[in-house]
Amino acid sequence: MPPYMFAELERKVSQMREEGIDVISLGIGDPDMPTFEPVVETMRQVVGVNDDQKYPTNRGRKEYREAVADFYSSRFGVEIDVEEGVIPALGAKEAIYNLCFAFLDPGDVALASDPGYPVYTGGPILAGARPVPLPLNPDRGFAPDLESVSDDDARAARILFLNYPNNPTGAVVPEGLFPQVVDFARENEILVIHDNAYSETTFDGYVAPSFLATPGAMEVGIEVFSLSKGYNMTGWRVGAVVGNPEAISTYWRLKTNVDSGLFEAIQLAGVTALRECGGMVEEMNSIYTRRRDLVVETLAAIGVEVERPRGTIYVWAPVPDGETSVSFAEKVLDEASVVISPGSMYGESGEGWFRISLTTPDERLEEALERMREHLA
């Protein structure tokens, strides 16, 4: 399998900067704003407490599990079993990777969105399974065509990865998709894993739903919730897996043999984020909305038309005529010293597209866009 794409991107940018080139990266989605102060203050207070420094339980501290369950109840209308239906995760990436080992044997199939987060395909490969891409096409609102899955692949499939709001496309879940997924999963005895990393980062009045709010979803699915993007906590590595208790139990059994749980001080910081920082999330979304509009307007000025996404921290745009996703990304880097992500990095169906992240300070984002306008218009 190839090196993890973001690691390669970081290496290339570092090399250019060492050569004295002022590179502005619009590639990786790592929020530039600091973690909210109430979260940091909680961490300051609890990190020195002796009891919080010892081995945590893989099941998670009760206060954290309760905070996640309360959040799901008030935010999504989903009732989560505090004892059996939620377990902390060391970020969404760890959870998705370990879920592959919990539910896939060699020869099994994992159905994965394409384009999509690379761990959806890398995790199954490392587990000895076979990822089968589900193309996300714009004419379907970036929804997978489940009817196109072959009978053989459907029989061999054990898990199905979904992600809405969607990385990298910025698409929100098309109407009717979640109920269709529930029926498909029931028919084929597949565990649905919905990566809910961007539900709190939405714009223009859109409110993202939880997959688990869909009738029947709790019977066939789990959801990976992350505090990374919505709460500016990417480096904290804190999230949760919630949903079907039997699936949670299987995941927990694997994790007890892999790691020793999530540092309890971070869990308590997560409690503060979930209970006290909703207003701050809205303020961040206002910043992202402004940046999104700036990116869309600049792209239009250089002849790249794109719809304004209603979710995530990304703008997904078609490459100009005559370019591939890689050739255009190289052109932008060579001529404007700006890093964008070629769509092919996210799967075969990403060819012909590129992604811009909105997680760059305003003045640097404006400079990057001005460079693109100057060199590419």
d(CA 215, CA 89): 25
Residue with tokens 């949760």: 240
Average pLDDT over every residue of 237-266: 95
CATH 3.60.21.10 fits 5-30+279-376, yes or no: no
Is the pLDDT at 6 greater than 80, yes or no? no
| Per-residue b or e along 8-35, where b marks 16 or more CB atoms closer than 10 Å to that residue's CB | ebeeebeeeeeeeeebbbbbbbbbeeeb
* CB neighbour list of residue 169: distance below 8 Å, 6 or more residues apart: 115, 136, 138, 142, 309, 314, 316, 353
CA dist 45 and 60 (Å) reads 19
Q: What is the pLDDT of residues 200-218, one digit of tens each?
A: 999 999 999 999 999 999 9
Greatest alpha-carbon span in the chain: 61
Whole-prediction pTM:
0.94
12 pLDDT above the threshold of 80: no
pLDDT at residue 304 in the model: 87
Whether residue 352 is predicted with pLDDT greater than 90 in this model: the reply is: yes
Architecture of domain 38-276: 3-Layer(aba) Sandwich (3.40)
Check residue 375 and give its pLDDT: 75
How confident is the model at residue 277, as a pLDDT?
95
pLDDT of residue 2: 67
Give the start-to-end residue ranges of the domains of the chain.
Answer: 5-30+279-376, 38-276
* pLDDT of 3 strictly over 70: no
Whole-number pLDDT of residue 9: 67
